[in-house]
Amino acid sequence: MSKNETKKMEDLIKKPELYLGIATLIVVGIFMVKAIYKPVIKSVTKITFPSVTPMPSPTITPTKAAEAKQVTTQKPTVKKSIQQIKKFADTGTVEIVVKEGDNFWKVAEQVCGNGIFADSIQEKNGYRGQSLQPGDILMISCE
């Protein structure tokens, strides 16, 4: 570098305009970075999860002996349902007890998910031309 170039550099360094220009470039650069990355940052920070509100635990206050009996008889029903599911998974057959108001179509919908199996359930259980009675036991396979 020559003395003349060195002198020009020293004069330039002494001018406040140089520092004002550098500061301006830094500020503009910061705003540019914010403008470019702000939508990305917002989309990342605005991830929302569905709110989960705890359900209140049920309180059982039986007022009659019949209600208390109902509460205690629910557990074996659930246990039997699990046993039926396991049996259905193993053999493809479920055993159910007919309730008041049941018919072959309803039973097929409940167990198989579709009423189209009603006729095959009726045939396999020997109910040709007969209706169901509460307490009847049906063996159901959804085939």
Q: What is the mean pLDDT, run by run of 10 residues, along the chain of 143 residues?
A: 86 86 90 74 55 64 53 50 57 81 88 85 85 88 77
Residues spanned by the domain of 72: 67-140
81, 38: one domain? no
128, 89: one domain? yes
Q: How far apart are alpha carbons 141 and 31 in whole angstroms?
A: 69
Count up the domains in the chain and report the number.
2
Report if residue 36 sits inside a domain. Answer: yes
Report if residue 33 sits inside a domain. Answer: yes
Report if residue 97 sits inside a domain. Answer: yes
Residue 26's pLDDT is 93
Report if residue 13 sits inside a domain. Answer: yes
Read off the pTM: 0.38
